[in-house]
Amino acid sequence: MKHYAVVHGPNLNLLGKREVGIYGGRTMESINADVEAEAKRLGVTVEFYQSNGEGELVTFIQQCRGRVDGILLNAGAYTHYSVALRDGIGAAAVPAVEVHISNIYKREAFRHVSMIAPVCIGQICGFGAYSYILGLRALIEERLDPWLA
């Protein structure tokens, strides 16, 4: 059975409690429960990790190498400036999908750039908690055979 890591970056532990106008009222725990249910439906397993620390995230992602089949990553604000995280994803050599709850392109200019997007398969943003569900499907859904050469 395929196994995936769902990684939440800084401040996502406060989901549902901070800036709900932007990030919605859902907590990280309830989003994780949705992802868990979707994983079950798709016949895969998931584990969850959240850290506010850039170094901790880098270490976790490094340790995904050879251990998980893919990473679903909401790197929060680190998305926009963490070269270390980008290198960590590259080093992990595991397919990663970048997700965001909000549509980052509707927001401040500094959020329009993602350091990690070039080392991910792709990016999904703007669909609230559902971004994670779409991200998991993007990583695994066999029904939607990988189409690119």
Among 20, 65, 113, 142, binds another protein (CB under 8 A): 113
23 is catalytic: yes
Pairwise CA distance, residues 126 & 38, whole Å: 19
Report the half-sphere exposure of 2 (CA within 13 A, side-chain side).
18
DSSP 8-state class, residue 2:
-
Contact between 2 and 45 (Cβ < 8 Å): yes
* Short-list 11, 38, 14, CA closest to 27: 14
Q: Is 4 a catalytic residue?
A: no
Between 50 and 102, CB nearer to another protein: 102
124 near another protein (CB under 8 A):
yes
Instruction: Report if residue 21 touches another protein, rule: CB under 8 A.
Output: no
Interface pick for another protein out of 18, 65, 67, 106 (rule CB under 8 A): 106
What is the token pair recorded at 72?
A: 């679903």
- Match 């927001």 to its residue by tokens: 107
From 4, 23, 78, 132, active-site residue: 23
Using CB under 8 A as the binding rule, whether residue 83 contacts another protein is answered as no
Residues serving a catalytic function are 23, 100
List of residues contacting another protein (CB under 8 A): 103, 105-106, 112-114, 117-131, 133-134, 137-138, 141, 144, 146-149
